[in-house]
Amino acid sequence: MENEMEKMDLPIEDDSCNTSSRKSHHSDAVKKNLVTRLNRVEGQIRGIKGLIEKDTYCDDVITQIAATQAALNSVGKILLEGHLKGCVVDRINEGDMDVLDEFVVTIQKLMKK
């Protein structure tokens, strides 16, 4: 199965994270993709709010909530992949093995339901 970055034909930056300032450095294409996805999620949230205000049948609202959660999870997966292939690898190459514990905690946060 192709990963999200390959499906988008977007480059994964070699210097995706600066360890001294702990900032991400995503390519413009990745940023644009993430912002587009988040704008879509924002629209879905507004749509869900509208459905509730209109007393839409609960099952229909729940279906929209599930779709929104899936879209947000997709953003998280893209960020997690870039973090692993960029930040984590860079820090391991610099001899910082503590990044592995940090990465495990990050995955646990992402998977928390």
How many domains does the chain contain in total?
1
Q: Is the pLDDT of residue 11 over 60?
A: no
Are 86 and 11 contacting, i.e. CB atoms less than 8 angstroms apart? Answer: no
Is residue 80 situated within a structural domain? yes
- 44: tokens are 């879905």
Which of the four pLDDT bands, split at 50, 70 and 90, describes residue 112? Answer: confident
Are 48 and 71 contacting, i.e. CB atoms less than 8 angstroms apart? Answer: no
Instruction: Encode pLDDT of 56-86 as tens digits.
Output: 999 999 999 999 999 999 999 999 999 999 9
Is residue 81 situated within a structural domain? yes
Is residue 15 situated within a structural domain? yes
Is residue 32 situated within a structural domain? yes
Task: Please state the pTM of the whole predicted model.
Answer: 0.76
Question: Structural domain of residue 36, as residue ranges?
Answer: 4-43+76-111
Is residue 53 situated within a structural domain? no
